[in-house]
């Protein structure tokens, strides 16, 4: 176990290094720079900006300097958001994405697992069909369509919520629904199929034959085994959700990190692009890592061996 | 079993919810109609009160910004969003009122010397910063020095807005290091003397622009001051009280502002949503008091519907900006003036503004938009656009002549590039279709991401490229000087000695009438003789404004000033 963790961490560092390097050079390879606009900045002022930000140096030198700064925990200063620390910007915008994301994850898991269980228990019955139609809809309807529909009906027509804004608890409802529709659908389908499999497994039959009561069978045997694939999915899903959905954030006016990331690329805000990329990289790798560990905790049959990984 | 029933119920509730939302799209029309009724009735009550002008008890304005304000530092600002915010938070020497006239701001009066090169501003003694300090002439000197100082970090991109001041450019470029040689001096705490390089008839107007705003001296040792509302000491009608990046801003009336009895709004709440559809829906839902340009957007495919539905609330204001296509005069086949003219004459501008853009834009046949000042009236009133007409037969003839001059029998392949945007695409499709129909020429269209597009265009790596120009100040010079040979914005690479001479004369000449003549002749060269650019239309600002919202002013360039706005009872 310990060996596995150390090994895994080492590979994470290597991946991170590759990620940082690739992003840095690709980003610099995109035509354009942060100081371009419809109105050209006079060449003297432009040259001074290049000098101040070190763009006049050769690329490898800029790269080296950036790596050294990152190792010191310094992600630099945003160019578009003049004089704002990249770390500050990431923390501020990530906190909004995180608040929304955590609620959406909890909702996704609870609703998704419940739906999946119901569908499995009432296999081939009305409830199963309804749940699966919902799941197909959830996967098929893109979140921006869902978001617009939600705004139109629940805010504009019914006046239950505001169209946009992110201040009161009520403001969370529409974005959370829009954000969790897809994971709910996915989780429901996963839960359903794996539970169906488990329900027909020999050990469940044995348990039933032994006369164990329904709740014990369900919670000790069926759910615990049936939920396994959901856990694998949870890591990437959680990371996906908390890294922010550009569409949802733009449509509902939430100051999240997803929106910031897209804007940073349009603005060629180099330090912000790099900062958010590194942040995303770390977050995704950690999420994967944790879901691997969770897997071991839930399913004792799985053993981690460092040789298999990497 | 109880538990299961509960679960069934939950599932059903969810199912009903999703089915409802799935049926949604069909109900679109009826919902929009009922929304219309609701707003109409509110607009009626609004108009019945209009005569009495009874103020609402809650003076809170709700507006939207389509993007974050990148900086609250007047020295660093360069965009629309910052313009709107800084107009609320700061006040320059003069202010521009609802009639586009310069009225006293921090300066209560000013004297202009005979030759128009020396301005003496007399500052009011009751102007205060939001922390109670007096606003002095020294604050202006400090702020302008900060903009021009080559050591300011990052280098203010708009420093060139101050180049009209004597020696400002040399100081900014590091050619002189002694700021006392720059033409701005505080002769005492309340007198500011400004000396210019040339007579600049629009200088007074410029002092209302944000790069000229004063900043409080406390910013000197704190490069993070403009990122946190608590360290922003400002002198305008409002102060920024809350700032959530990518989400919201809140402004509150500044009790220390000298003219605060004229400020009726107590609070301004702004959201930051980059979705035109959301913005319009929020407006219809009563969450916003104003939607659309210049800080937000109205989806172009909804303009017609909204215009019909909200006839009383849909405002279209002209903006002194030009939408045009650039011809690369150094690249085949557009190195021939006749071919350029043929292309410009073969399209139907009225049809484009009527059927494609639909927001009341004005077909353009010149470079200088209506709304830009001439000697007495507006430039366009003094000099009508008579440089060319739309004429398909004439265009065909010119194309043949041009091709004969070049010794070619068929045109090389031509590509029109534009930056990725739905509107630009629709316009490009309409225009290339007209070229195909009227000239029999196939033109490919290609969209490019903004940064890539700008780089290609500025490097001359295009044949025809889309462009737009927003004036920096209210004078034809802001349009004319970009096509001089050494101008950085001359993407079409026009190289015309006569044109350069006319622009140079207009810079130096102190006779405003003669300057206008220069501009007229220059416009004749650029459009009439050379057709270096193809004018398409003059922009407008479409916006939805609640009938109870009054006192919002837009200037010639479409920048908005909410500082004197007020809300009627509704």
Strands B414-419 and B464-469: parallel
Judge contact between B193 and B187, C-beta under 8 A.
yes
Q: For residue B275, list chain A residues with Cβ-Cβ distance below 8 A.
A: 250-251, 253
Dihedral (C-alpha) B337, B339, B344, B346: value to the nearest 10 degrees? 150
Interchain proximity B246–A127, CB inside 8 Å: no
User: Per-residue confidence at B32, pLDDT binned at 50, 70, 90?
Assistant: very low
Cβ neighbours of residue A64 closer than 8 Å, sequence gap 6 or more? none
Nearest by CB to residue B282, choosing from A48, A96, A164, is A164
Separation of alpha carbons A268 and A254, rounded Å: 22
- DSSP letters along B173-200, please? TTS---GGGSSEEEEETTEEEEEBSS--
3-state secondary structure at position B240 = strand
Task: Please give the Cα distance from B197 to B212 (Å, whole number).
Answer: 17
Under the banding of pLDDT at 50, 70 and 90, the label for residue B348 is very high
Cα A77 to chain centroid, rounded: 25
Q: What is the model's pLDDT at position A144? A: 86
Under DSSP, is residue B91 helix (H, G, I), strand (E, B) or coil? coil
CB contact at 8 A, B75 and B215:
yes
Under 8 Å between Cβ of A142 and A135: no
B171-201: pLDDT as tens digits: 999 999 999 999 999 999 999 999 999 999 9
What is this model's ipTM? 0.87
SS3 B553: strand
Between residues B144 and A255, the one the model is more confident about: B144
Closest CA to B283 of B62, B65, B56: B62
**pLDDT, tens digit (0-9, with 9 covering 90-100), for B441-489:** 999 999 999 889 999 999 999 999 999 999 989 999 999 999 999 888 9
Residue pair B214/B90 in contact (Cβ under 8 Å)? The answer is yes
**For A294, what's the count of Cα atoms within 13 Å in the CB-facing half-sphere?**
17
Confidence of residue B21 (pLDDT cuts 50, 70, 90): very low
Q: Closest Cα of chain B to A185: distance in Å?
A: 12
Determine the average pLDDT of the residues in B117-128. 96
CB contact under 8 A, B245 and A255: yes
Grouping H, G, I as helix, E, B as strand and the rest as coil, residue B537 is strand
Lowest mean pLDDT among B41-55, B206-220, B368-382: B41-55
Query: Which residues of chain B does A263 touch, with a Cβ-Cβ cutoff of 8 Å?
Result: 67-68
- Three-class secondary structure of residue B268 per DSSP: strand
- Percent of chain B exceeding pLDDT 70 equals 91
- Cβ atoms of A75 and A87 within 8 Å: the answer is yes
pLDDT digits (tens, 9 = 90+) for B206-224: 999 999 999 999 999 888 9
Range A131-150 average pLDDT: 90
Chain B residues in contact with A35 by the CB 8 A cut-off are 157
Is the Cβ–Cβ distance between B338 and B346 less than 8 Å? no
Q: How far is B554 from chain A (nearest CA, A)?
A: 22
Testing the interface with B: which of A31, A127, A137 to mutate, by most B Cβ within 10 A? A31
| Residues B371 and B556: beta-carbon distance below 8 Å | yes
**Cβ separation of B456 and A31 shorter than 8 Å?**
yes
Residue of B nearest to A32 (CA): B451
The residue among B142, B93, B138 whose CA lies nearest residue B119 is B93
The tens digit of pLDDT for each residue in A241-278 reads 888 788 899 889 898 999 999 999 989 999 999 999 99
Lowest mean pLDDT among B36-50, B462-476, B500-514: B36-50
How far is residue B568's CA from residue B554's CA, in Å, rounded to a whole number?
19
Q: A116 to chain B, minimum CA–CA distance in Å?
A: 10
Which residues does B307 contact at the CB level (< 8 Å), separation at least 6? B314, B358
Tokens of B32: 């929009």
Cα separation, B437 vs B417, whole angstroms: 20
Average pLDDT over residues A190-204: 89
pLDDT band at A220 (very low <50, low <70, confident <90, very high): confident
Candidate from B248, B287, B455 with C-beta closest to A32: B455
Contact B295, B65 (CB under 8 A): yes
CB burial of residue B212 (10 Å; 0-12, 13-18, 19+): buried
Interatomic CA distance for residues B36 and B558, integer angstroms: 28
Q: Which residues pair with B542 in a beta bridge?
A: B316
Stronger pLDDT, B46 or A284, i.e. the higher one: A284
Q: What is the mean pLDDT of residues A90-99?
A: 93
Query: Which residues contact residue B377 at a Cβ distance below 8 angstroms, ignoring those fewer than 6 apart?
Result: none
Mean pLDDT of chain A: 88
- Residue B42 pLDDT > 50, yes or no? no
Q: Please name the member of A45, A89, A134 whose beta carbon is closest to the beta carbon of B245.
A: A89
CB B111 within 8 A of CB B120: yes
pLDDT on residue A207? 86
Chain A: closest CA distance from residue B158 (Å): 8
pLDDT tops 70 at residue A197: yes
Provide, as residue numbers in chain A, all residues whose Cβ is less than 8 Å from the Cβ of B284: 156
Question: Which of B73, B277, B282 has its CB closest to that of A148?
Answer: B277
Asked if A27 and A19 touch (Cβ cutoff 8 Å), the reply is: no
Cα(A253)–Cα(B275) distance, integer angstroms: 8
Q: Which of B244, B246, B469 sits opposite A259 (nearest CB)?
A: B246
**Dihedral over alpha carbons B522, B527, B533, B536 (to 10 degrees):** 120
Helix, strand or coil, per DSSP, at residue A308: coil
For residue B31 the two structure tokens come to: 């919902």
What letter would DSSP give residue B378? B
DSSP result, B4-68 = HHHHHHHHHHHHHHHHHHHHGGGGHHHHHHHHHHHHHHHHHHHHHHHTTTPBPS--EEEEEESS-
Residue to mutate among B82, B149, B154, B457, with most A CBs inside 10 A, is B154
CA distance A88 to chain B (A): 10
Give the one of B31, B157, B275 whose C-beta lies nearest to A251's C-beta: B275
**What is the C-alpha separation between B199 and B114, in angstroms, rounded?**
10
Q: Residue length, chain A?
A: 310
Name the 3-class secondary structure at A186.
helix
Give the CA-trace dihedral at A237, A242, A246, A247, to 10 degrees. 60
Model pTM greater than 0.95?
no
- Both structure tokens of B447: 């969209």
């Amino acid at each position: 176990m310990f060996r596995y963790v150390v090994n895994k961490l080492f590979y994470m560092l290597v991946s991170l290094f590759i990620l940082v390097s690739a992003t840095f050079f690709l980003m610099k390879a995109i035509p354009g720079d942060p100081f371009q606009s419809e109105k050209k900045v006079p060449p003297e002022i432009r040259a001074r900006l290049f000098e101040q930000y070190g763009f006049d140096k050769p690329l490898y030198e800029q790269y080296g300097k950036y790596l050294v700064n990152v190792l010191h925990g310094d992600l630099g200063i945003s160019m578009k958001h003049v004089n704002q620390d990249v770390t500050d910007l990431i923390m501020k915008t990530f906190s909004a994405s995180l608040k929304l994301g955590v609620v959406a994850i909890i909702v996704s898991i609870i609703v998704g697992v419940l739906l999946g269980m119901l569908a499995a228990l009432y296999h081939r019955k009305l409830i199963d069909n309804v749940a699966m139609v919902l799941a197909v809809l959830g996967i098929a309807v893109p979140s921006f369509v869902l978001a617009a529909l939600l705004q139109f009906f629940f805010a504009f027509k019914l006046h239950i919520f505001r169209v946009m804004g992110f201040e009161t608890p009520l403001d969370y409802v529409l974005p959370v629904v829009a954000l969790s529709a897809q994971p709910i659908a996915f989780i429901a389908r996963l839960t359903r199929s794996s539970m169906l499999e488990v329900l027909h497994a020999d050990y469940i039959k044995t348990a039933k034959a032994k006369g164990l009561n329904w709740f014990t069978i369900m919670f000790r045997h069926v759910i615990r085994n049936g939920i396994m694939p959901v856990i694998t999915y949870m890591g990437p899903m959680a990371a996906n959700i908390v890294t922010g959905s550009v569409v949802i954030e733009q449509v509902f006016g939430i100051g999240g990190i997803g929106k910031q990331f897209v804007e940073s690329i349009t603005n060629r805000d180099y330090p912000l692009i790099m900062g958010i990329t590194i942040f995303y990289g770390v977050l995704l790798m950690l999420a994967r890592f944790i879901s691997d560990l969770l897997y071991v905790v839930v399913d004792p049959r799985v053993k981690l061996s460092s040789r298999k990984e990497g | 079993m109880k538990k299961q029933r509960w679960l069934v119920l939950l599932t059903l509730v969810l199912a009903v919810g999703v089915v409802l939302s799935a049926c949604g799209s069909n109900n679109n029309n009826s919902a929009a109609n009922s929304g219309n009724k609701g707003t109409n009735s509110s607009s009626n009550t609004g108009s019945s009160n209009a005569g009495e002008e009874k103020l609402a008890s809650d003076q809170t304005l709700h507006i939207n910004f389509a993007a974050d304000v990148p900086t609250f530092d007047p020295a660093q600002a360069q965009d629309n969003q910052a313009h709107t915010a800084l107009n609320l938070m700061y006040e320059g020497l003069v202010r521009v009122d609802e009639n586009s006239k310069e009225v006293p701001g921090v300066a209560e009066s000013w004297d202009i010397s005979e030759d128009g090169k020396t301005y003496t501003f007399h500052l009011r003694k009751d102007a205060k910063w939001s922390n109670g300090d007096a606003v002095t002439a020294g604050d202006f000197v400090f702020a302008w020095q900060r903009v021009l100082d080559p050591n300011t970090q990052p280098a203010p991109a708009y420093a060139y807005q101050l180049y009209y001041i004597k020696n400002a450019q040399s100081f900014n470029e590091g050619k002189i290091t002694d700021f006392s040689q720059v033409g701005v001096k505080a002769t005492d705490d309340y007198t500011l003397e400004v000396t210019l390089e040339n007579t600049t008839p629009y200088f007074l107007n410029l002092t209302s622009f944000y790069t000229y705003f004063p900043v409080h001296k406390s910013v000197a040792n704190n490069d993070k001051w403009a990122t946190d509302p608590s360290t922003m000491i400002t002198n305008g009608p409002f102060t920024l009280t809350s700032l959530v990046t990518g989400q919201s801003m809140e402004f509150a009336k500044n009790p220390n502002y000298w003219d605060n009895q004229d400020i009726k709004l107590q609070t301004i709440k702004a959201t930051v949503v980059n979705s035109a559809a959301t913005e319009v829906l929020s407006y219809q839902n009563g969450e916003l008091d104003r939607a659309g340009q210049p800080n937000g957007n109205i989806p172009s495919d909804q303009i017609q519907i909204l215009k019909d539905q909200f006839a009383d609330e849909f405002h279209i204001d002209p903006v002194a900006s030009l939408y045009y296509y650039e011809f690369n005069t150094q690249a085949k086949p557009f190195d021939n003036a006749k071919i350029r003219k043929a292309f410009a004459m073969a399209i139907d501008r009225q049809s484009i503004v009527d059927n494609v853009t639909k927001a009341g834009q004005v077909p353009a046949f010149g470079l200088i938009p209506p709304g830009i000042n001439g000697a007495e009236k507006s430039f366009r009133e003094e000099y009508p656009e008579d440089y060319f007409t739309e004429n398909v037969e004439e265009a065909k003839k010119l194309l043949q002549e041009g091709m004969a001059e070049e010794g070619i029998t068929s045109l090389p392949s031509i590509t029109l590039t534009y930056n990725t945007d739905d509107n630009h695409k629709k316009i490009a499709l309409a225009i290339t279709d007209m070229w195909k129909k009227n000239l029999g020429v196939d033109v490919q269209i290609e969209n490019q991401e903004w940064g890539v597009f700008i780089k290609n265009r500025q490097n001359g790596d295009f044949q025809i490229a889309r462009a737009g120009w927003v004036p920096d100040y209210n004078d034809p010079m802001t349009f004319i000087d970009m096509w001089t040979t050494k101008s950085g914005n001359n993407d079409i690479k026009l190289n015309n000695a006569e044109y350069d001479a006319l622009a140079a004369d207009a810079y130096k000449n102190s006779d405003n009438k003669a300057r206008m003549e220069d501009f007229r002749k220059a416009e004749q060269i650029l459009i009439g003789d050379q057709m270096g650019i193809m004018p398409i239309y003059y922009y407008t600002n479409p916006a939805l404004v609640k009938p109870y919202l009054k006192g919002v002013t837009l200037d010639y360039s479409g920048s908005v000033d909410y500082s004197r706005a007020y809300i009627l009872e509704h």
